[in-house]
Amino acid sequence: MPRPIQTAIWSRQAQWMLTQSRRRLGPTFTLQIAYEGKWVIVSDPEMIKQVFTGDPKVFHAGEGNEILRPLLGKFSLLTLDDGAHMSQRKLLLPPFHGRRMAGYEESMREIAGREIERWPTGVPYQLRPRMQAMTLDIILATVFGVEGGERLSPLRESLRAFLDMLTDPRFIVPLLGLGPDRIRSFPPFRRRVDRVAALIGREIADRRVAGDLEERDDILSLLVAARHEDGSPMSDAEIHDELLTLLVAGHETTATALSWAIERLIRHPDKLSRLRDEVAAGEDAYLTATIQETLRLRPVIVIVIRRLTEAIKLGGYDLPAGLSVVPSIHLVHRDPTIYPEPDRFLPERFLETPPGTYTWIPFGGGVRRCLGAAFAQQEMAIVLEELVARRVIEPTDPAPERNMRRAITETPRRNTEVVLS
C-alpha cells in the first residue's frame, strides 16, 4: 500500500492493521508510516528477545523520539541514546526502586479515595477524564512533591494545559509539519512551555534550599540530592526535563490502563465480583492478575521502536542500518500459541502462569523498559482496590468499548462510561 494510505489506517486503527498484516504476511513484515523510515514489525518472542537484549548502541530508541525534544528538553530520557541515556537512567532508577515505591503508597491511596468520593452516583459518568485527573494529582504528589497548598492549583492547571496540547491535533499537526526546531517559536506552544518551565523552575529552586531534603521522598527531592558518577549534581535543566518526561510518560498511560481495567471488568461481572471479594478478603493475587490481563489485552501502547545504527541479522533477515525494528506489543499479546483464546479477558490465566519477559511486554523491554512499570502497577492496584471497595460499577451500554487513538495511546472510545452506586 502507498505510504499515505498506510499512515491513514495506522493513525485510526493500528491494532487492526497489525492483526491484518500478520494474517496476510506472517509474523514479520514492514510498514511505512508518516515520515518514519521503514519499520520491520516483529512479533516472534525469540526475535523480540534479541532486540531487547541487543546492544543499545545498535538499537537506538531515543532517536525516533526526537520530535519530543522541543516539548521535553534535550535531557529527556525518552529522547537520549547511548552514554547520555544510561547516565540519566542511572540517576532516575533509585526513586523507582521497591523501598521507595512503598513510600508512595499512602499518597496514592489518599488521592484515589478522595477523588472517588467526589464522583457522582446514579448518572452516566465518563471515568477516563477522572482517571487522568487522579493520575495527574498522584504524579504531582509523588514526583513533584506538591500535595496541597497554594502551589498545587497553578501547577496542576499549567501542566494540564501543556498535556492537553500534546493530544490536541490543532497543535500536533503543526508540530509535525514544522519539525522539532521551528516549533519552538510557535507562540501558543511557547506560552504553555514557558509557563510550565517557570513553575517547575520555582519548585526546583525551593527544593535546592529546603532544610528537610533528607526526610522528603518525592522524586524531585531525590533528583536534587542525586549525583552523577563524577560527583556533580544534576543541573536545573536536567531535573526540569526529567520531571516533565515522567509526567508525560506516566500520566496518560496509567489513566488509560485504569480506564481499560474498568471497561473490561464491568463487562465481565463475574470477574468484577471475584475481584471485589478478594480485595475485601485482603488478597492481591487476583488483583495483580487482573492488571496483567488488562495490560495484555488492552495494551496502552501497541509497539516500541528501535532504530538500527548498524546492519544486523535478525531471525534470518539481513536488516540494514537506518531501518527500525519494531516489536509489536499487540501482536505478541494476541498470539494464540502463547495465550489460548487470546481475545478473551481471562485474568485467571496469570494465576497459573506468571507473565514472561518476552511474551508480556506492555512496558517494552531491555535497557529502555518503562522506568515507571512498578509505579504504574502499584498505582493501578491501589486505585482499583479503592474503587471496588467503595462503589458498585455498571456499564451504561453492554457493548464493549472499541479503542481510539489519542496521541500514542489507545484509549476506550466512549471514555469508560459507567454508572456508579
Q: Which residues bind ligand HEM (CB under 6 A)?
A: 61, 77-78, 89, 245-246, 249-250, 253-254, 257, 300-301, 304, 362-365, 368-372, 375-376
Note whether 116 and 418 are within 8 A (CB).
no
Nearer to ligand HEM among residue 70 and residue 250 (C-beta): 250
Q: What backbone torsions phi and psi does residue 395 show, to the nearest 5 degrees? A: -80, 155
At its nearest, how many Å lie between ligand HEM and the CB of residue 228? 17
Nearer to ligand HEM among residue 1 and residue 102 (C-beta): 102
Dmax of the chain from CA atoms? 63
The amino acid occupying position 76 is S
At its nearest, how many Å lie between ligand HEM and the CB of residue 93? 9
Pairing of strands 39-42, 324-327: parallel
Nearer to ligand HEM among residue 257 and residue 346 (C-beta): 257
Nearer to ligand HEM among residue 347 and residue 362 (C-beta): 362
For residues 37 and 320, give the distance between their C-alpha atoms in angstroms, rounded to a whole number. Answer: 12
Nearer to ligand HEM among residue 250 and residue 395 (C-beta): 250
At its nearest, how many Å lie between ligand HEM and the CB of residue 260? 9
At its nearest, how many Å lie between ligand HEM and the CB of residue 72? 10
Residue 92, C-alpha cell as written in the block = 532516575
Nearer to ligand HEM among residue 74 and residue 191 (C-beta): 74
At its nearest, how many Å lie between ligand HEM and the CB of residue 142? 8
Pairing of strands 306-308, 324-327: antiparallel
For residues 308 and 320, give the distance between their C-alpha atoms in angstroms, rounded to a whole number. Answer: 7
Burial-class residue 215 by CB neighbours within 10 Å (0-12, 13-18, 19+).
exposed
At its nearest, how many Å lie between ligand HEM and the CB of residue 304? 4
Nearer to ligand HEM among residue 78 and residue 382 (C-beta): 78
Task: Determine how many CB atoms are found less than 10 A away from the CB of residue 235.
Answer: 12
Residue 109, C-alpha cell as written in the block = 491511596
For residues 296 and 256, give the distance between their C-alpha atoms in angstroms, rounded to a whole number. Answer: 13
Q: How many whole angstroms from its chain centre is CA 115?
A: 21
The amino acid occupying position 74 is K
At its nearest, how many Å lie between ligand HEM and the CB of residue 86? 9
Residue 227, C-alpha cell as written in the block = 549525583
